[in-house]
Structure 1
Amino acid sequence: MLTANAAAALLDTEAEAADIRTYLATQERKTLLRFLTCGSVDDGKSTLIGRLLYDTKLIFEDQLSVLEQDSKKHGTTGGDIDLALLVDGLEAERQQGITIDVAYRFFSTPKRKFIVADTPGHEQYTRNMATGASTADLAVVLVDARQGVLEQTRRHSIIASLLGIRHIVLAVNKIDLVDFDQQAFERIIADYESFVSDLDFSSVVAIPISARHGDNVTSVSERTPWYAGPSLIGHLENVEIGAEDRARPFRFPVQYVNRPNLDFRGFAGTITSGSIAVGSEVMVAKSGRRTRVKRIVTYDGDLASASEGQAVTLLLEDEVEVSRGEMLVTPESRPNVADQFAANVVWFDEHPLLPGRMYLLRTETEEVSATVTHLKHRVNINNFAHEAAKSLDLNEVGVCNLSLQAPIVFDSFKENRSTGSFILIDRVTNATVGAGMILHPLRRAANIHWQAMDVTKASRAALKHQKPAVLWFTGLSGSGKSTIANLLEKKLHAAGRHTYILDGDNVRHGLNRDLGFTEEDRVENIRRVAEVARLMVDAGLIVLVSFISPFQAERRMARDLMGDGEFIEVFVDTPFEECARRDPKGLYARALKGELKNFTGVDSPYEIPENPDLHLRTLGRSLENMADELESWLRERGYC
C-alpha cells in the first residue's frame, strides 16, 4: 500500500503531468505567424527582435548576463544593454554592428506563436533577405525616422511583394530621436504609401516605435499620445493571415518512392497545399492518370486524412506510373505542365543574368536545364517603372521568359507559393544565382509539339557511312582554330565524309549579323550556333564549329544539346603572346590601343576549358600535323 506521503507525491506528479498536457494542448491550438524584419541598414531590425524577445520574457538570466558582457565589448548603445546582439550571432556581425546572415527566432504570447527572420539591410546581402521572405506571411519594414524611405526600403518592399507577402507593417523606428514628432511620422507614411500603391499588398499598417526603449513595441507608449493604433505585438497577434491559403487545391510533390517489398509501394512527400483523405480521387499531373488514395501512412500509423504541411506516404489503389519529381493533384484543379513560362526573377550573383545562357532550374522536387530566352524588362526599385535591359545585375529584379529542356509541373506563384517558385543554379560553379516566381505559362508552350519523323538521325548517318558529331574548336583569336578546322574538313571530304564548317566570322555575316561583342551578345551568338549545329548533327553530318566561345557555361550548354558522344571539345591552345604576334586581322593591335572594346584576352575574359576532349598545344607543331591527329582520333572512334 502507498503511504500518505507517497500518495500525495503521486497526486502531485499526476497534477503536474495534467498541467503540462494542458499547456501543450494550449500551445498546439495557437496559430503561428511567420514574419520578417527588413529595410535599410542601421534601421534597427536586430534591436527590434531583441526587444520582442526581452519583453516576452524569453531571455534566461544566464543569457542576460552574457548579453550584458557582450554589450560592453561589442555594443553600440553606450552603457545600455544592446538587444541587437541577441540576434547578431556572427563575430563579423558584432564587430561591424550589422546583420549579414538570416537569423530566425521563436517567441510566443498568450495569443499566438511567432517565428521571426532578421534579414540583413546591406544591398550585397539582398539574396539573404529574399531567403527570409520566401516563407514569411508578413513583413515588418523598418524605417529610421531621421532618414525616411531609402533605396533599400524600396528594394525590400518590392521583393516582399514578389515573394507573395501581402501584409506590411511600416515600423517607423527611432521615433524618440525626432522627439516623437507626429509630422515626421506622417511624412514617412505618405512617402511609403505612395511608393507601394502599385504593389499587391492587402494591408499596410504604420506604427511609430522605439525598438531601443520599447515604445509601441509590446504596449502603447504614453510618449505618442497622437497615435491611436495598436502596439506592434498587438497588431501581430490579431492580423488575419492565410485565409486564402486554406482554399488552395491539393498538391503533393513526390520526393521519394518507397518500396521496401513487393506488397508495399508508397509515395512519400509533404503536402504543400490542400488536404486529402482515404478514398479521394487524385491525378498524376504529367500523365493525367487518375486513381484513388488507398492509405495514408505515417510513422505513427495510418491516417484517415491529411492536410498542408504534413509529411506522409500515400498508397494508391492502381499501379500508376509515378516517380520522384511527379506531383499528385486534385483532378478538379490541375496545375500547369509546360516547358516555357514567364517569371519574376531576383538576381543574386555578381556575374549578371544573361539571356541565352543555360542554368539549372530547381523546384521542390525537379531539376532541369533552363535558358532565359527573353528579358522582358528590369524593375526600377525607386519608382517601380519597367525598363528595357539586356541583363540583370546583382540584386536587380526583372521579368523573364524561360525555356526548359523538359516540362515541369507548376502553379502561378500568386496561386501557390510552394509550387510556383524556383531557384536558378550556375552550371559551372553550382552556386545559387537567382530566385524566381512564376507568373504564367507561355501560350506557345501549349501550342507547339514535337512532330514525329520517320527518317531518323541514325538512318541519315548510316546513309553517309559515318557517325554524326560536332567538333567544337575553341581558343583565342589567331590561335589557328579556323585553319585547323579547314584542313580537317579537306581530309574528311577527300575521304567521302559529309561535313560542314560553322566559322565565327562567316556566321556573323548572316545568321548572327545583328549581334555585337558584348557579353550578352556573345552568349546569344553561341546559343544560335549550337542550335544550328544540333540540327546539322540530326541531319547526320560531321560539323566543325570554329568559335572563340570564351565562356565555359556556353560550351557546356552546347555539349548538353547533343547526344552522348556527339560533342567533341577541341581546345586550340596558343598563348596570348603568340596570338598577338600573329595578329592576322590586326585586331590585337587595335584592342591593345583601346580602339577595339570587348576583345577576348584583352578586356574580355577567356575561360580555359578544364577537361577538353582534345587539347592541341600549337607551339612548335604544324597545323597540318594537328589536322592529321584529329582525323586519326575520329577514325579510331568510329566517327568516319
Structure 2
Amino acid sequence: MSATTAPVLRFITAGSVDDGKSTLIGRLLYDSKTLLADQLDKLNRDAESGRNIDFASLTDGLAAEREQGITIDVAYRYFATAKRKFIIADTPGHEQYTRNMVTGASTADAAIVLIDAARVDFSTTPATLLPQTKRHSAILKLLGCPSVIVAVNKLDLLDFNESKYRAITEAYAALAAQIGLKADIRYLPISALQGDNIVNTSAHTPWYDGLPLLPLLETLPVAGTGRADLPAHFPVQRVARQDGSSSNDFRGYQGRLESGRLKAGEEIVIQPSGKHARISAIYNAGGETREAQAGETLTLTLDTDIDISRGDSILAADNPTRPGQDFQAALCWFDETPLNLRRKYLLKQGTQTSAVKISEIAYVWDVHTLSHVQSAHQLALNDIGSVSLKTQQPLTATTYADNPATGAFILIDEATHHTVAAGMIRSGSSQSTFEI
C-alpha cells in the first residue's frame, strides 16, 4: 500500500508537561528524513558543534513556547512515508491548556500517550501515574479515540529497566480499566531524545519484540469520515436560493451528510417539524449524483416547498432520532470562571444553537482518585463532569457514542461569548447511555 492510496492517519501526542511530546515528534520527523532542508541543516550544525539537538524546537512554533520550554497551542505537522501520509497534532501537556488538547483529540484516529518513566512513583502498587496522564486518558475515552499507543519515554534514564517498564504498563492498564478506555492499546518502550524505538528497533530493549513507533503508526486503521452504516442524518447549514423568480425558483439545502446514505427519490423527514418529503436531486462537488454517503458535502432539493432553515435536520424516514430538550451530558470545562447554574449559556451542536439551562451537576470526576465526586456545586477549569441540561429549542441530536458528529457540542457564555466547555451527549429521550 503506497502513501498515495493509504488513508491519512491523524494522530495526537498526549500526556503531562515535560513528558517529551514535542521532542518525540521532532525526533520522528528527523529520523524519518521528512524535515525541510533548512531545518535539517540547523540540526546537523548543532550536532557537529557538539550542542544537544533541540528536537522540540521543530514543533514549538510560538515565541512564548520557545521561551518557556512548553507547548501552549496545538501544533500541526504533516509528513509522509512510502506507506502513508500523516497529520500530527502536538497538543499541550500543561494543565492550563487542557482545552487545546481536547481540540486536537476531537478529530484524531490515534493518540500517543507519553509517560515520563523517571517521574512515575514506583512505591505503590500499581505504580502512580501523573494526574495529567489520567486526565488526558479520560478525555480520550470520552472522545472515543480508537487507537492509543502508550509510549513509555526516557527509559534511558532508568537504564532501560524492563521491570520498571512492565510496572508502568500494568499501571496504565489498570487506569484504562478503571475509566473504561476501550481503545486498541499498544505499549512501547522509547527514548525520544536518543531515538530508541522511534523509527528503528533499539538494541537497548532486546526484551521488546514489537514494532518501533513509525512502523506501528503505518499499520493503524483509520475510521474514515462519517458513519455510512447509520441512518441518514443531514444537518442543514444553509438554504441556497437562485433569483427567486417563478421561472427559476431553485431552493437547495446545503450541509454535510454526517451519517448514512441518501438517494434521489427516497422519502425523508425534516426535524424538528416532523414534515415528510422526497429528495428530488442531490448535488456534490462533481455535480448531480444519484446517491451520496456520510462525509460528503451536499446540496439537496426536495419535491415540495417546506419551511426549512439553518439548524433543521433532514433525516432518513427510518431514522429513529427524535428532537429532544432534556439531555445528560459529559462536560470538559475550559473557562477560568467556573460553571454557574444560574448563568446563561448557549449550546451549539452542529448547525443548531439554543439557549440552555444546566439544572444539575451529577458528579465531577476526581483525576487523583479516579472516583466520582457526588453533590458537586461547580465545574472549575479543566474539570470533567456529568450534568443534566435542558435546551430552549428542541435539538435533533444523538448520543456521542452513537455518532460523534451529531452528539458533540460546545457551551458558550451568553455574556462574554467565550467557549466555556466541550460536551458529549450521554443520553436523552429514548437514547442509549455511556459512562465517563
Q: Could you say whether these structures have the same fold, taking a TM-score greater than 0.5 normalized by the shorter chain as the test? A: yes
Task: Determine whether 1:168 maps to 2:148.
Answer: yes
- Distance change in 2, residues 1:84/1:249 (3 Å): farther
- Distance change in 2, residues 1:261/1:26 (3 Å): farther
What is the one-letter code of the residue matched to 2:290?
A: A
- Distance change in 2, residues 1:26/1:295 (3 Å): farther
Deviations 1:417-450 (A, max 9, x none): 1110111111111111111000111579xxxxxx
Partner in structure 2 of residue 334 of structure 1? 320
Tell me how far apart the structure 2 counterparts of residues 32 and 91 of structure 1 sit (CA, whole Å).
Answer: 30
Deviations 1:507-542 (A, max 9, x none): xxxxxxxxxxxxxxxxxxxxxxxxxxxxxxxxxxxx
Offset at residue 196 of structure 1 (A): 1.3
Tell me how far apart the structure 2 counterparts of residues 78 and 411 of structure 1 sit (CA, whole Å).
Answer: 57
2:364 pairs with 372, 378, 402, which one?
A: 378
Q: Secondary structure of 1:29's match? A: coil
2:386 pairs with 391, 395, 399, which one?
A: 399
Aligned-residue sequence identity (percent) comes to: 44
Tell me how far apart the structure 2 counterparts of residues 283 and 178 of structure 1 sit (CA, whole Å).
Answer: 62
Deviations 1:472-515 (A, max 9, x none): xxxxxxxxxxxxxxxxxxxxxxxxxxxxxxxxxxxxxxxxxxxx
Partner in structure 2 of residue 124 of structure 1? 96
Conservation of the 8 A alpha-carbon contact between 1:285 and 1:335:
no
- Distance change in 2, residues 1:83/1:248 (3 Å): farther
* More contact order relative to length (CA 8 Å, sep ≥ 6): 2
Task: Determine whether 1:110 maps to 2:97.
Answer: no
Deviations 1:342-390 (A, max 9, x none): 0000101111112232211111211111111000011111332111211
Partner in structure 1 of residue 221 of structure 2? 240
Task: Determine whether 1:95 maps to 2:76.
Answer: no
Offset at residue 89 of structure 1 (A): 0.1
Offset at residue 147 of structure 1 (A): 1.2
Task: Determine whether 1:261 maps to 2:243.
Answer: yes
- Distance change in 2, residues 1:136/1:424 (3 Å): same
Partner in structure 2 of residue 573 of structure 1? none
Task: Determine whether 1:413 maps to 2:400.
Answer: yes
Conservation of the 8 A alpha-carbon contact between 1:67 and 1:85:
no
- Distance change in 2, residues 1:209/1:324 (3 Å): same
Which segment drifts farther, 308-317 or 94-103? 308-317
- Distance change in 2, residues 1:95/1:284 (3 Å): same
What is the one-letter code of the residue matched to 1:59?
A: L
Which segment drifts farther, 120-129 or 219-228? 219-228
Tell me how far apart the structure 1 counterparts of residues 317 and 85 of structure 2 sit (CA, whole Å).
Answer: 35
Which segment drifts farther, 283-292 or 252-261? 283-292
What is the one-letter code of the residue matched to 2:400?
A: F
What is the one-letter code of the residue matched to 1:43?
A: D
1:137 pairs with 96, 101, 109, which one?
A: 109
Offset at residue 167 of structure 1 (A): 2.1
Q: Secondary structure of 1:172's match? A: strand
Deviations 1:114-134 (A, max 9, x none): 212111011110111111111
1:189 pairs with 169, 188, 191, which one?
A: 169
What is the aligned length? Answer: 415
Q: Secondary structure of 2:378's match? A: coil
Task: Determine whether 1:358 maps to 2:344.
Answer: yes
- Distance change in 2, residues 1:293/1:220 (3 Å): farther
Partner in structure 1 of residue 417 of structure 2? 430
* 5+ long unaligned stretches in structure 2: 121-128, 432-436
Tell me how far apart the structure 1 counterparts of residues 50 and 326 of structure 2 sit (CA, whole Å).
Answer: 56
Q: Which of the two has greater strand per residue?
A: 2
Write out aligned runs for 1:285-304 (5 A): 285-304=271-290
Task: Determine whether 1:318 maps to 2:301.
Answer: no
- Distance change in 2, residues 1:31/1:376 (3 Å): same
Partner in structure 2 of residue 42 of structure 1? 18
Tell me how far apart the structure 1 counterparts of residues 212 and 278 of structure 2 sit (CA, whole Å).
Answer: 49
Conservation of the 8 A alpha-carbon contact between 2:108 and 2:145:
yes
Partner in structure 2 of residue 475 of structure 1? none
Conservation of the 8 A alpha-carbon contact between 2:228 and 2:293:
no
Tell me how far apart the structure 1 counterparts of residues 383 and 269 of structure 2 sit (CA, whole Å).
Answer: 38
Deviations 1:68-98 (A, max 9, x none): 67x79xxxx9713212111100001001111
Conservation of the 8 A alpha-carbon contact between 2:30 and 2:40:
no
What is the one-letter code of the residue matched to 2:425?
A: I
Normalising by structure 2, we get a TM-score of 0.90
